[in-house]
């Protein structure tokens, strides 16, 4: 158990001399709280697995330091770091029983037998593996195998953190839910720091207290699910999280107003005069933008398609060359596909070069 600090940590598979833009992980400085449940969220190739492998020591960083409780562990090997990791595909020691598999990490560290047995029993109970303890691990189903891998990750009580690298990829969808809530329960039960890598926003948002969103080798935002939803710090977070993603359109912003396609939208905060030469955009989530009958004060748009998601309907509309997703109020229908868009000013954000600009209230 430990607090983990990353200090100016960066990695390039091409070595330190590689151009900065080619780094798989661009310099990052951040702190992981002891006992926290973190998710590292991002699309494939964004550097999240690299970051995970740096923490576990499978990869040695090109630059920067990793501290566990303030102690620099960057040069230590994986065995000497106190880390557990669960991989994308189940890793099972074929010749051992399920129980022996679970006990393996403890035995290798010379933990007394009584303690090993007690801990294996506890973990097996938590993961519903008790009936299988005496069975050979080879013949089990993929999800049972992955549970064993999870169990091996969780079995050590003294680890600084447990790292999960997309551990539910091979699991059937309905079992995914069960295992995810199981993991969440385990986190509360065992008081371990957990870092969970995924490209699935639902997984990240349901598992973690803190979601760290990565994009192109950078950490673009780290916050609670609500923060990521309400106030994306980067346009990438805006459209990567949420379904459908945030509407982001170029606009001209000054003071309390944004102009889109010749139409003025009121803003909740004062943005003064934004620096020239930057790309100014506004972002609004489809949940805070709804369609209404065309009226003179509204930005007029044309409906191209309506997506019925069951719990809500979203209209895909077009304003000039820009496309928006907007909520359709229940029972709303339009005769000729022309509608007006109603913005919720409190939830319209302004971005300069993709980064959030804080206005003045």
What residues make contact with other proteins under the rule CB under 8 A? 56-58, 77-79, 83-85, 87-89, 91, 93-97, 99-100, 102-105, 108-109, 113, 116-117, 120-121, 124, 133-136, 138-139, 149, 152
Smallest distance from other proteins to CB 20, Å: 28
Q: How far is CA 348 from the centre of its chain?
A: 23
Strands 4-11 and 63-68: antiparallel
Smallest distance from other proteins to CB 157, Å: 14
Beta-carbon contacts of 119 under 8 Å, excluding residues fewer than 6 positions away, are: 106, 111, 155, 156, 157
| 3-class SS string, 235-277 | HHHHHHCCCCCCEEEECEEECCEEEECCEEEECCCECCECCCC
Q: Which residue, 120 or 265, has its beta carbon nearer to other proteins?
A: 120
Instruction: Print burial letters for 89-103: b (CB count within 10 Å at least 16), e (below 16).
Output: ebebeeebbbbbbbb
Q: Which residue, 96 or 302, has its beta carbon nearer to other proteins?
A: 96
Quick one: tokens of 290? 């709804």
Q: Which residue, 134 or 329, has its beta carbon nearer to other proteins?
A: 134
Smallest distance from other proteins to CB 132, Å: 10
Smallest distance from other proteins to CB 235, Å: 35
Q: Which residue, 138 or 181, has its beta carbon nearer to other proteins?
A: 138
Smallest distance from other proteins to CB 134, Å: 3
Quick one: tokens of 173? 């969808």
162, 189 in Cβ contact below 8 A? no
Q: What angle do CA 205, 215, 360 make, to 5 degrees?
A: 80
Q: Which residue, 192 or 241, has its beta carbon nearer to other proteins?
A: 192
Smallest distance from other proteins to CB 198, Å: 17
Q: Which residue, 85 or 325, has its beta carbon nearer to other proteins?
A: 85
């Amino acid at each position: 158990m430990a607090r983990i600090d990353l200090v100016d940590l960066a990695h390039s598979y091409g070595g330190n001399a590689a151009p900065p833009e080619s780094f798989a992980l661009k310099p990052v400085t951040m702190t992981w709280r002891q006992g926290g449940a973190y998710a590292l969220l991002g699309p494939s190739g964004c550097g999240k697995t690299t970051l995970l492998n740096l923490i576990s020591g499978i990869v040695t960083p090109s630059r920067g330091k990793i501290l566990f409780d303030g102690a620099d562990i960057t040069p230590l090997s994986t065995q000497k770091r106190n880390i557990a990791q669960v991989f994308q595909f189940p890793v099972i020691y074929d010749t051992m029983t399920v129980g022996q598999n679970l006990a393996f990490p403890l035995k290798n560290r010379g933990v007394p037998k009584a303690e090993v047995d007690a801990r294996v029993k506890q973990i097996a109970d938590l993961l519903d593996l008790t009936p299988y303890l005496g069975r050979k691990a080879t013949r089990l189903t993929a999800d049972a195998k992955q549970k064993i891998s999870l169990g091996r990750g969780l079995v050590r009580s003294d680890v600084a953190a447990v790292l999960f690298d997309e551990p539910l990829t091979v699991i059937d969808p309905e079992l995914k839910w069960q295992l995810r809530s199981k993991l969440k329960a385990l986190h509360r039960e065992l008081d371990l720091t957990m870092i969970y890598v995924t490209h699935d926003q639902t997984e990240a948002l349901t598992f973690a207290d803190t979601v760290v969103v990565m994009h192109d080798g950078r950490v673009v935002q780290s916050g609670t699910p609500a923060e990521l939803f309400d106030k994306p710090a980067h346009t990438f977070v805006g459209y990567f999280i949420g379904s459908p993603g945030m509407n982001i359109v170029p606009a001209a912003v000054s003071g309390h107003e944004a102009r889109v396609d010749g139409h003025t939208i009121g803003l909740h905060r004062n943005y003064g005069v934004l620096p020239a030469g930057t790309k100014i955009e506004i972002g609004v989530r489809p949940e805070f933008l709804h369609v209404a009958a065309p009226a003179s004060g509204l930005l007029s748009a044309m409906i191209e398609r309506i997506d019925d998601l069951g719990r809500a309907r979203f209209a895909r509309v077009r304003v000039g060359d820009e496309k928006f997703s907007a909520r359709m109020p229940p029972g709303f229908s339009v005769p000729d596909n022309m509608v007006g868009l109603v913005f919720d000013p409190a939830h319209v954000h302004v971005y300069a070069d993709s980064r959030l600009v804080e206005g003045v209230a």
